[in-house]
Structure 1
Amino acid sequence: MKLVRYNQLNPAYPSAVSSMLDKFFSDSFGPVAKSFNPAVDISEDEKAYDIQLSVPGAKKENFKIELVDGTLTISGERKWEEKKEGKNYHSVESQYGSFSRSFFLPDDAQSEGIEASYEDGILKVIVPKAEKKIAKSVIEVK
């Protein structure tokens, strides 16, 4: 069985030029990239902001999370570990290298109580919200 790269323009058969260019760049530079941007999902509920980065295959020791002046910066690295053992790679589409993503936190985000966890290739950072203060007061007439 021979692996054939999918051609978006014509899925019935691969493009010779596309395959030739892919092979040239794969053989010349290999799968190691210097940097990449992992996919990020951000959501919120009434209690917290939930930031999730997709970094499968990374190790939790390789992440660094910093909060400076209201900017949350998440950085890390996913290293390529080539294990040949009789394997010839035909295609490597996974991303490797270092990354850094920064997020400006809203005014209601609390710097205390930020939690981070890494499970199943997803780095999850929970930023709690400050409790809403009720802007109501009674003014006494004198």
Structure 2
Amino acid sequence: MNLLPAHRPASILPDLTDWWNAFTPGLAPMLSSHMLRVEESADEGHYVVRAEIPGVDPAKDVEVSVHGGLLTIKAERSESRAEGGHSEFSYGSFERTVSLPEGAQDEGIEATYAKGILTVSVPVSEPKQKVTKVQVKSGE
């Protein structure tokens, strides 16, 4: 069994993902193209998470959920190409969970998808500083 990627006549160098998958077949699903890249920022009372998910239909392939202070993004991609008698396909499931900051609200969360980028905006209010006084009893 040959683990090296097939040479593509139109390309001088094979795709780096193909090289990675060829030399690490057991790790490829965990570490290769199935990683979901995200960036996080705070912007005027909102916690914003942007995820790079090109080639998906956001209406049916993307799920965003919030539970227990965690924001989870799940996506599934299935793509195929055919040209000149050569065809390729790629597919996979992606998932990423990030911790929401203190004061994040479950209500009013918005998610938009444009040009391969999913943007999730979570409203954040100032955390309420609750002080609880504890009565000290005599131990006599």
Question: Which stretches in structure 1 are left out of the alignment for 5+ residues?
Answer: 7-20, 136-142
Amino acid of the structure 2 residue aligned with 1:117:
T
| Partner Cα separation in structure 1 for residue 39 and residue 90 of structure 2 | 18
Amino acid at match of 2:125: A
User: Judging changes above 3 Å, is the alpha-carbon distance between structure 1 residues 59 and 86 closer, same or farther for their aligned structure 2 residues?
Assistant: same
2:103 alignment partner, SS class: coil
Aligned to 2:53, which of 45, 52, 55? 55
Relative to the length of structure 2, the TM-score reads: 0.65
User: After alignment, is 38-47 or 50-59 more displaced?
Assistant: 38-47
Match of 1:5 in 2: 13
Q: Once superposed, what is the RMSD of the aligned Cα atoms?
A: 3.5
Identity %: 35
Kept in 2: contact 1:73–1:103 (CA 8 A): yes
Matched pairs, number: 112
Runs of 4+ in 1 over 4 A off after TM superposition: 131-135
Question: What letter is aligned with 1:128?
Answer: P
CA–CA distance in structure 2, aligned partners of residues 77 and 116 of structure 1: 17
Residue 34 (structure 2) aligns with: 36
The residue aligned with 1:45 is 43
Instruction: Pick closer, same or farther for the CA change 1:70–1:54 going to 2, 3 Å.
Output: same
Q: Alpha-carbon deviations, 1:72-99, whole Å to 9, x = none?
A: 1110111122x3242536xx8x974101
SS in 2 for 1:80: strand
Distance 1:2 1:104, change over 3 A: closer
* Separation in 2, partners of 1:105, 1:120: 25
Change (3 A) 1:105 1:96: same
Aligned mates of 2:10, 2:43 — CA distance in 1: 49
Question: 1:111 maps to which residue?
Answer: 106
Tell me the equivalent position of 2:134. none
| One-letter amino acid of the structure 1 residue matched with residue 12 of structure 2 | V
What is the aligned partner in structure 1 of residue 94 from structure 2?
A: 99
Identify if the C-alpha distance between structure 1 residues 77 and 132 changes in structure 2 by more than 3 Å, giving closer, same or farther.
same
Aligned mates of 2:75, 2:10 — CA distance in 1: 36
Q: Which protein, 1 or 2, shows the higher relative CO under an 8 Å CA cutoff with sep ≥ 6?
A: 1
CA contact (8 A) 2:50 2:118 kept: yes
In 2: Cα distance, 1:68 partner to 1:2 partner: 47
Deviation at 1:45, TM superposition (A): 2.0
Q: Secondary structure at the match of 1:4?
A: coil
